[in-house]
Structure 1
Amino acid sequence: MKIVFTPIQDVYLVETTPFQDERGVFYRAFCDREIDALLQGETICQVNVSRTEAAGAIPGMHFQYPPHAEMKLIRCLKGRVWDVAVNLRTDSSTFLQWDQAELSADNAYMMVIPQGFAHGFQVLEPGSELLYLHTAYYEPQSDGAIRYSDPKLNIPWPLKVRDVSDGDSSHPLLSEDFRGIVL
Structure 2
Amino acid sequence: MIFTETKLKGAYIIDLDRKTDERGFFARAFCRKEFRDHGLKPIIAQANLASNARKGTLRGMHFQYPPAAESKLVRCTRGAILDIIVDLRPESPTYLQHISVELNEDNMTSLYVPERFAHGYQALRDNTDTSYQVGEFYTPDAEGGLRHDDPRLGLEWPLPVTVISPKDQAFRPLSEIENEVKHRMSVAMAA
Using structure 1 for the length normalisation, give the TM-score.
Answer: 0.92
Secondary structure of the 2:48 match is strand
For 1:169, the aligned partner's letter is Q
Gaps in structure 2 of 5+ consecutive residues: none
Instruction: Give the C-alpha shift of residue 125 in structure 1.
Output: 1.1
Instruction: Give the C-alpha shift of residue 24 in structure 1.
Output: 5.0
Q: Match of 2:51?
A: 51
Instruction: Give the C-alpha shift of residue 159 in structure 1.
Output: 1.2
Alignment of 1:133-148 (within 5 A): 133-148=133-148
Gaps in structure 1 of 5+ consecutive residues: none
- CA distance in structure 1 between the partners assigned to 2:10 and 2:128 by the alignment: 26
Instruction: Give the C-alpha shift of residue 41 in structure 1.
Output: 5.0
Secondary structure of the 1:66 match is coil
- CA distance in structure 2 between the partners assigned to 1:129 and 1:37 by the alignment: 29
Alignment of 1:71-90 (within 5 A): 71-90=71-90
Q: Match of 1:4?
A: 4
Alignment of 1:17-96 (within 5 A): 17-19=17-19, 23-38=23-38, 40-96=40-96
Looking at secondary structure, tell me which structure has more helix per residue. Answer: 2
The superposition leaves residues 56-83 of structure 1 with CA deviations (integer Å, 9 ceiling, x where unpaired) of 1111100101110011110111111000
**CA RMSD between the two structures:** 1.7
- CA distance in structure 1 between the partners assigned to 2:51 and 2:177 by the alignment: 35
Instruction: Give the C-alpha shift of residue 167 in structure 1.
Output: 1.1
Decide which moves more: 31-40 or 130-139: 31-40
Instruction: Give the C-alpha shift of residue 25 in structure 1.
Output: 4.9
Q: Relative to structure 1, is the Cα distance of residues 165 and 140 closer, same or farther in structure 2, using a 3 angstrom cutoff?
A: same
The superposition leaves residues 132-164 of structure 1 with CA deviations (integer Å, 9 ceiling, x where unpaired) of 111111111111111111110111101122111
Decide which moves more: 23-32 or 130-139: 23-32
Identity %: 37
Q: Match of 1:121?
A: 121
